[in-house]
Structure 1
Amino acid sequence: MVKPCIEMNTHGIRPKGEGYAGHYVPQLAHTILQNNQHTNQTIINQKGIAIGNAYIDFETIMRGADLLIKQMMLLVTCMPMKSMLPYAIPHQLPLTLYAKLVNRIGDTDGALPLSCSKYAINKLGMPIKTAWYPWYIHGEVGGYAVGYQNLTFVTVRGAGHSVPSYQQAWALVLFSSFLNGKLPPSARGPEATMKVTIKYLLLVLSCCFTTFLISCKGNQIGNLNRLIESRKSPHPESWALLNDQEDSNNPPVYVGSQKGMMQSDKINALPGQPEGVDFDQYAGYVTVDPIADRALFYYFVESPQNSSDKPLVLWLIGGPGCSSLGYGAMLELGPFRVNNDGKTLYRNEYAWNKVANVIFLESPAGVGFSYSNDSSDYTKVGDKRTTKDSYVFLINWLERFPQYKRRDFFITGESYAGHYVPQLAYYILSRKKNTNQTVINLKGIAIGNAWIDDAICMKGMFDYLWTHALNSDETNEGIKKYCNFDSEDSVSKKGDGDDNTIQCGKYLSQGLREMGFIDLYDIYAPQCNLSAIKPGSNGNIMNFDPCTGFHVKSYLNLAKVQAAFHAKATKWSGCSSVGWTDSPMSVLPEIRNLSREIRVWIYSGDTDGRVPVTSSRYAIKTLELPVETAWRPWYSNSEVGGYVVGYKGVVFTTVRGAGHTVPSYQPERALTMITSFLHGKLPPDVSPF
């Protein structure tokens, strides 16, 4: 696309454009300057140029484009294979290159991506005058800017190739800044300095960078960050392998009487639920330790049609220490969502109980409505006990619902459930082998945006921040030089030298600071603005609501709602500050073993910045599995729903335009994906074209 134009006013002209105008604009500006010099007259009072998503250098475009775009460009014979960099004239005119990032559904400009502009500017070798910083509009990060000698590079967050078409208000701010000869506005100022420590930044992440901000003290990112921070302390002896000596002989599992409890757990109706509910739902407690009086809370929804023919799915949420009821059921894949009045519900037409019977388990004790009468259970919890309690829960739940004993069973979850899910699956299979009994008919697992390896996930996160223009080149180079994520403290390069540790900490802090105040769950999502909510407006499943966490918290703390769920009167919160005492650095060994016996899927929403798609890809790569089905797009409702690659024993799929909690952002695509998983087939590859 070519859109050249010239802005004229009493102060001079400023040619600007986008696309192949990356040739026209600098060529025209160069010609004007040359003619002005030859005539010794200022015939055209040229002040600057601005080019967006610009085709300016063939070599860097080939380097920055993806494989598909490279192949397409090789077929185009009419494009001159030369560079416009000689026409950049950086010492004679102020030059602004503005570039898109990705639009709200995760699309990128594949022909002229942001990386092309960055590579082209790097070829100029110009000194930096103003370091990379986030710029703001109406409290939102509008993009990022870096100032060079007479050249400014600016990104526009959430915009596509034609920047003003996708982000009108943000494009206007950028254009006004360009005309006024100023950098885009920053809340702190681009050159402001602040002492930032890793501990402080983890707190900022937990309090500010989450869409579903149920409270500053409780959200998945905050709990995960606290766990990562704890890695700096010596590991207690309890950080042993899951299948340690005490489990080698398969000690007896507590099984309590479940007589009559299924019917007593049945929910007549939830307060504020819409009319026409055509499925059965249950909720209640299952005791997992009668001595400590430790019990886990569950919410179970059967499928509206042919529930007896559909599989049983357990959904777990991460944190560690967050609620599967609040996140999974009410924010993501459950049958209802909460309206903004915090009192009524609306139907989720893409709920996963359309294709399965789904259990949402709040685990461990201390999370959500789950409890223990032994207070030490809240301070001495970790992966091992969570796994064992979940197993005891399942055994007892199946006694309560015996019709599901032989049903195909799948475990799913997200985030730190990247630990819970494979550990529980591994434990189930281990006990099944040793006892020669088929109590749980486990068929497969699926984990989304999963935290499965500390070193890989940390490296993947910072690589993602850089490749998505949330970090500067300088910060990325510093992290690569000084940080060794394979070391236990994830800080030093080549040992524990003080200088390396200090330098690594400096660049990590800088990287977190540079991205500004965005929602790390979805780097393109808006922030919650409660004052902008219109009272009484009903929710729409396809319109993402960044304030939905507040609505859920209000709803689940209503006394009549807790009574309907058969829950104890509790001050419910989305995440709890349980004391985590054991967590292996990696669960890749368990995943490798599981891939030989059951179905294993790993999926990633591609706009999650906290446990990003890069982390998942790096983790799978370490398994060194042969590819059985090459990378390809898959489709949902005639749109590319994401991409999939099939390995021997493991399937990896992305969900396009989805953040950390995939079904919240892309409910239809998530349903297509999970349906394929349950059927043992790759997502559909039928193109509408």
Structure 2
Amino acid sequence: MNIPRPCSVFLYSFLVLSCFSIAQIHGSQHSHALSRLYKSKLNSESAGIDTKPFEVILHANATSIHHPQEGLKEKDRIKSLPGQPEVNFNQYGGYVTVDKRAGRAFFYYFVEAENQQAKDSLPLLLWLNGGPGCSSLAYGAMLELGPFRVHSDGKTLYRNRYSWNHAANVLFLESPAGVGFSYSNRTSDYDKSGDRRTAADNYVFLVNWLERFPEYKGREFYISGESYAGHYVPQLAQTILHHNKKAKKTIINLKGIIIGNAVINDETDTRGMYDYLATHALISDEIAKKVQKYCDFSPNATNQPKECGDATDAADKATYHIDIYNIYAPLCTSSNLTAKPKKASILKFDPCSEFYAYAYLNRPDVQEVLHANVTKLTHDWEPCSDVITHWGDSATTIIPLLHEFMDNGLRVWIFSGDIDGRVPVTSTKYSLEKMNLPIKTEWHAWYLSGQVGGYTQVYEGDITFATVREAGHQVPSYQPARALSLISHFLDGTSLPDTTRYA
């Protein structure tokens, strides 16, 4: 089993090698495919600052994006996943067609709220993982915020008592086509992936999914995600706003977005990463000074000097034998499954969990119950795509979209696990500084169970920034209780607790 890590994407060739080396640590042969993705972005002529709406309908009438949904909800109902403990909530899995002519369809997994009496009042929350090309079913649902985690036997599940369906009805989406169980009958689609296509298809998915689940039409809707979903989430949000305005009515009742350890602004993301590595004693001061002196991370920079490449190569080498996504976490030392499940704890994340999820989601009985149409796929299910070999467009920044959301009254939260070295807290802080926002509430600690859960600062315009203490790139994996507290306060529109008395 070869499991890739969801490397975040930057537009600099030396970071291609960085993600490649990290993938090697985890035994991934898919690093070659991911490397091609990064190189395709480097050569993309459409990269740059893009503030245009992410149009969905280019040459078609708005009604053409709707596909019949009658009777499909019940067909998608999952009575019970193989090896799962008993639960009281409903769950669904299946496909929504986003392009009938191409035969392009996205796979989703949906869990209603844990409290069935409250599910009709709780919001709908969409979760997107990044990559680009990594699965929200693999990471979000099975390793982070979903209701179950996979035992070390790869056959049975145990409950995540900090699942986000305590706070919302949660929808996990595998996109774009070629990711996870999502597919296209037109294989050339896999070479046309990019930010714009993904935003368009995600919007068509949502419009049709809401027809299939009409009880969620008009429900408060929020979009969440991490890593390269720092592009996916805002771009989908902008698409929704655009079509609501175009239709002069609320098609989707979007209220806010929340993104974690997110790719926001290439220049500050990259500079912040090297500053983080230096300040956390992972690279030497000499390497850090050379990066600062010789590397130009601005959007229009070309032809980095050899000294820059040498310095960043040295940084890669220095971090080769750690998990850059959680700089203090142990590495997985064996990908082997166990005959009997090892003792598992939600509060102590197993670094080999990805192998367990891989084995579980490739079981034929699991795929059958999920309603995954594996005969349409040209490959086995993988947590990160090995068929998407080109990423067509990627803006260098999404900061203009955040300003647009402020103007439209959307709630925006940005959070950072503070021991992620790939898209670290320094990167996010630098990106927020570029927005030049007045501070509404000064930097202070927030609490959970009498302990500091992290730190937070609120800006004018309803943008909240929060750190999550002792969390890596995938925050809910490492700090599930703090992550649940964070999402609960976000959805409620309440401030994080600033005293131990209310924590």
Which TM-score applies when normalising by structure 2?
0.90
Structure-2 change in CA distance of 1:607 and 1:600 (3 Å): same
SS in 1 for 2:203: helix
1:516 aligns with 320
Asked whether the equivalents of residues 266 and 299 of structure 2 are also in contact (C-alpha less than 8 Å), the reply is no
Matches within 5 A, 1:196-211: 200-208=17-25
Q: 2:225 aligns with which of 413, 423, 428?
A: 413
- Is residue 283 from structure 1 mapped to residue 93 from structure 2 by the alignment? yes
2:138 aligns with 326
Shift of residue 437, structure 1, vs aligned partner: 1.6
Q: 1:310 aligns with which of 117, 122, 133?
A: 122
Shift of residue 311, structure 1, vs aligned partner: 0.3
SS in 2 for 1:309: coil
CA distance in 2, matches of 1:240, 1:589: 8
Structure-2 change in CA distance of 1:247 and 1:620 (3 Å): farther
1:299 aligns with 109
Asked whether the equivalents of residues 40 and 391 of structure 2 are also in contact (C-alpha less than 8 Å), the reply is no
State the AA in 2 paired with 1:473: D
Matches within 5 A, 1:632-671: 632-649=444-461, 650-671=463-484
Asked whether the equivalents of residues 447 and 496 of structure 2 are also in contact (C-alpha less than 8 Å), the reply is yes
Q: 2:399 aligns with which of 575, 578, 588?
A: 588
State the AA in 1 paired with 2:71: G
SS in 1 for 2:210: helix
Q: 1:568 aligns with which of 364, 367, 373?
A: 373
Asked whether the equivalents of residues 232 and 489 of structure 1 are also in contact (C-alpha less than 8 Å), the reply is no
Asked whether the equivalents of residues 272 and 343 of structure 1 are also in contact (C-alpha less than 8 Å), the reply is yes
Asked whether the equivalents of residues 151 and 158 of structure 2 are also in contact (C-alpha less than 8 Å), the reply is yes
State the AA in 1 paired with 2:286: E
CA distance in 2, matches of 1:230, 1:293: 25
CA distance in 2, matches of 1:296, 1:231: 23
CA distance in 2, matches of 1:244, 1:531: 41
- Is residue 260 from structure 1 mapped to residue 65 from structure 2 by the alignment? no
CA distance in 1, matches of 2:188, 2:157: 36
Asked whether the equivalents of residues 51 and 401 of structure 2 are also in contact (C-alpha less than 8 Å), the reply is no
CA distance in 2, matches of 1:627, 1:331: 35
Structure-2 change in CA distance of 1:202 and 1:325 (3 Å): closer
CA distance in 1, matches of 2:194, 2:396: 13
Structure-2 change in CA distance of 1:463 and 1:287 (3 Å): same
Aligned CA-pair RMSD? 2.3
Aligned residue-pair number: 478
Q: 1:625 aligns with which of 432, 437, 455?
A: 437
Structure-2 change in CA distance of 1:263 and 1:592 (3 Å): same
Matches within 5 A, 1:341-380: 341-380=153-192
SS in 2 for 1:512: helix
Shift of residue 542, structure 1, vs aligned partner: 0.8
Structure-2 change in CA distance of 1:244 and 1:643 (3 Å): closer
Asked whether the equivalents of residues 14 and 312 of structure 2 are also in contact (C-alpha less than 8 Å), the reply is no
Shift of residue 398, structure 1, vs aligned partner: 0.4
SS in 2 for 1:503: helix
- Is residue 458 from structure 1 mapped to residue 270 from structure 2 by the alignment? yes
Shift of residue 206, structure 1, vs aligned partner: 2.7
1:544 aligns with 349
Asked whether the equivalents of residues 240 and 252 of structure 2 are also in contact (C-alpha less than 8 Å), the reply is yes
SS in 1 for 2:95: strand
CA distance in 1, matches of 2:128, 2:191: 21
Shift of residue 201, structure 1, vs aligned partner: 4.2
Q: 2:291 aligns with which of 479, 482, 501?
A: 479
Asked whether the equivalents of residues 55 and 200 of structure 2 are also in contact (C-alpha less than 8 Å), the reply is no
- Per-residue Cα deviation, 1:269-300 (whole angstroms, up to 9, x for no partner): 0000013x110000000001100010000000
- Per-residue Cα deviation, 1:175-205 (whole angstroms, up to 9, x for no partner): xxxxxxxxxxxxxxxxxxxxx9765444212
CA distance in 1, matches of 2:56, 2:237: 18
CA distance in 1, matches of 2:252, 2:473: 29
State the AA in 2 paired with 1:205: I
Shift of residue 227, structure 1, vs aligned partner: 4.7
Structure-2 change in CA distance of 1:197 and 1:236 (3 Å): closer
1:503 aligns with 307
CA distance in 1, matches of 2:97, 2:65: 9
CA distance in 2, matches of 1:535, 1:403: 43
Asked whether the equivalents of residues 312 and 408 of structure 1 are also in contact (C-alpha less than 8 Å), the reply is yes
State the AA in 1 paired with 2:477: S
Shift of residue 420, structure 1, vs aligned partner: 0.3
1:602 aligns with 414
**Gaps spanning 5+ residues in structure 1: where?**
1-195, 493-500
Shift of residue 447, structure 1, vs aligned partner: 0.3
Paired-residue identity, %: 50
Shift of residue 682, structure 1, vs aligned partner: 1.7
Asked whether the equivalents of residues 44 and 392 of structure 2 are also in contact (C-alpha less than 8 Å), the reply is no
- Per-residue Cα deviation, 1:481-504 (whole angstroms, up to 9, x for no partner): 111111445763xxxxxxxx1111
- Per-residue Cα deviation, 1:365-408 (whole angstroms, up to 9, x for no partner): 11000010001111111111100101000000000000000100
Structure-2 change in CA distance of 1:452 and 1:681 (3 Å): same
SS in 2 for 1:299: strand
Structure-2 change in CA distance of 1:572 and 1:507 (3 Å): same
Comparing 225-234 with 418-427, which one deviates more in the overlay? 225-234
SS in 2 for 1:331: helix
Asked whether the equivalents of residues 54 and 238 of structure 2 are also in contact (C-alpha less than 8 Å), the reply is no
